[in-house]
Amino acid sequence: MQLGGAVKKILVVSVHPDDETLGCGGTLLRHRAEGDETHWMIVTEVGNDAMKLQRAGQIEQVRQAYGFTDIHALNFPTTCLDQLATGQLVGAIAKVVATVAPEVIYLPFVYDIHSDHRIVFEAAYSCTKVFRYPSVRRVLMMETMSETDFSPAIPGQGFMPNVFVDIEDHLEKKLNIARIYENEMGEHPFPRSLEGQRALAVVRGAAAGCQYAEAFMLLKEIW
C-alpha cells in the first residue's frame, strides 16, 4: 500500500512522549507532507509538578513540529500500568480510537523491554477489531530505540521488519524534533543518541534501497 493517495487519519500510540519520534517520526512527517491527518495519543505522564511543566512545554513544541491535528493524553502514571485494571486502560484507548476513527495505527512493539510498552500494546491492539472499529485498515508495530533493541533474544520474539518507509526528505527534521527531548537524549553510545538514530535510519534504508528509512512490522492490512 502506498502512503500517497486519499487523505487518511493516522494515530500513533506513544506510551511515553518521545516514542512517536524514535519509532516513527520520519513517517509521521511524511504523512503530513502527503496531506494526511495525524493524531498523537500519549498514554502516560511523569510524576512531579516540575517534570510535568517541563514535559508540557516539550509536548507543545513537538505537537507544532509535527502538525498534529490533536493530542489525546490519557495521563496514566508512568511505570505503574501493571497496577491498573486492564479494562480501565482498554476503555481509555478505545474512546480515542472511536473518536479519531483512524485508518492507520502505529503501536509499540509487543516484546519491548519496558513493561509499559507491552501492556499498552495488548490494550491498544484489542482496539483494532474490525467489527468494533471499522475505520482501522492498517496496524503496524514500530521499533523504539532503547526499548525494542533491548528486548530478550528469544526465538520468535525479535523485531523482524516487513514494512519500510523512505524518510530521506524528513530525517533531519526528525532529529531536530528529537533534540526537543533534551532530557531523554544523550551522547553516543547512549541508546537514544542522535547518532544512533541516524545510524538506524541508514541500516533500514540499506535494507529498503534508499538513503534513510524507518521500519515496521505489519500486523493487519485491509486493502
Please give the domain boundaries of the chain with CATH numbers for all domains: 9-166+214-221 (3.40.50.10320)
Per-residue confidence (pLDDT) for residue 5, from 0 to 100: 64
CA distance 78 to 19: 13
pTM: 0.96
Per-residue confidence (pLDDT) for residue 47, from 0 to 100: 73
CA dihedral 178, 96, 126, 13 (to 10 degrees): 0
Map 13-50 to HEC letters: EECCCCHHHHHHHHHHHHHHHCCCEEEEEEEEECCCHH
Per-residue confidence (pLDDT) for residue 51, from 0 to 100: 85
Q: What share of the chain is helix, strand, coil (3-state, %, to 5)?
A: 40, 20, 40
CA distance 222 to 60: 33
pLDDT in tens, 168-222: 999 999 999 999 999 999 999 999 999 999 999 999 999 999 999 999 999 999 9
Per-residue confidence (pLDDT) for residue 1, from 0 to 100: 42
Per-residue confidence (pLDDT) for residue 7, from 0 to 100: 86
For 189, the grid coordinates are: 553510545
Residue 171 near residue 178 (C-beta atoms within 8 A): no
For 116, the grid coordinates are: 509499559
Q: Is 52 helix (H, G, I), strand (E, B) or coil?
A: helix
Q: How many CB atoms lie within 10 A of CB 169?
A: 13
Per-residue confidence (pLDDT) for residue 79, from 0 to 100: 87
Spell out the per-residue pLDDT of the chain, length 223, in tens.
444 468 899 999 999 999 999 999 999 999 999 999 999 999 999 877 788 889 999 999 999 999 999 999 999 998 889 999 999 999 999 999 999 999 999 999 999 999 999 999 999 999 999 999 999 999 999 999 999 999 999 999 999 999 999 999 999 999 999 999 999 999 999 999 999 999 999 999 999 999 999 999 999 999 9
